Amino acid sequence: MEEVRMDSLPHNGDEIDHVALRWSHPGKQLEVPCGLRPEPPELLSIMCGSRLLQVLCAQLLWVWVMGSELTFELPDNAKQCFYEDIILGTKCTLEFQVVTGGHYDVDCRLEDPEGTTLYKEMKKQYDSFTFTAAKNGTYKFCFSNEFSTFTHKTVYFDFQVGDDPPLFPNENRVTALTQMESACVSIHEALKSVIDYQTHFRLREAQGRSRAEDLNTRVAFWSIGEAVILLVVSISQVVLLRSFFSDKKTTTTRVGS
């Protein structure tokens, strides 16, 4: 069984399709979910132009740090667990889906710091579970493929901890937002929806491609098997027909008187 802490996951620019990316810069640290490439702060300064837009762009990127997404390989007869420190009263959502492998199913289990099971499902293809942390501490969720003997799985999960912070520090003020602030909030919500749709469409595309490749492999082997059987039957028929029409030479023995 492998154990992984969510704050120690590898962040590699070459694995943009599998894990979140973290961009480090002196005094700043931005994290962008899978499928997005962060821009260096210098380039953001050029793109944004003014100080206000720089702040808005930084906030648009910063609010996405709350979620942890990962796609990983789960070998047969294996179990992998992940850990996350959660504060009391925090609302969390765990969503997972099996992308490739076998019957596209996996066991999932979620436990609180005291080991109490909050969620447990067997052989699920995909599911989503939302809960509110009742205790401070480290929560653990595990994916198990121990019931499978031959096939390994590719599993995607998205673990959201807490609600998104306000786009502006004074967003909950009594006075109304300015027109630009309202537009930024609308754009932010629209971009979050776009990211969610893109993630689900990528998962569906990957799952469909896996099924198509598996079907193509089966059809190819079936076609090869039929061709071999047809060849064997044809040769057998030819040999059998030749045995029917072959002349048998008879030997005549002459007995002298």
Closest C-alpha to 199, from 46, 16, 31, 3: 16
Closest by Cα among 135, 137, 148, 136 to 73? 148
- Convert the pLDDT of each residue in 114-168 to its tens digit: 999 999 999 998 899 999 999 999 999 999 999 888 888 999 999 988 877 666 6
Q: Which CATH architecture has domain 2-165+178-209?
A: Sandwich (2.60)
Rounded to whole angstroms, how far apart are CA atoms 167 and 60?
A: 7
Question: What average pLDDT does the segment 24-31 reach?
Answer: 38
The Cα angle at residue 252 between residues 247 and 257, in degrees rounded to 5:
170
Task: List, for residues 39-71, the tens digit of each pLDDT value.
Answer: 444 444 434 444 444 444 444 444 444 567 888
Backbone angles phi, psi at 164, to 5 degrees: -65, 135
pTM (whole model) above 0.85: no
Residue 129 and residue 110: Cα distance in Å, rounded? Answer: 10
Q: Which residue has the higher pLDDT, 80 or 192?
A: 80
Please state the φ and ψ torsions of residue 132, each to the nearest 5 degrees.
Answer: -115, 125
Give the mean pLDDT of 12-18: 37
**Domain spans, the chain:** 2-165+178-209
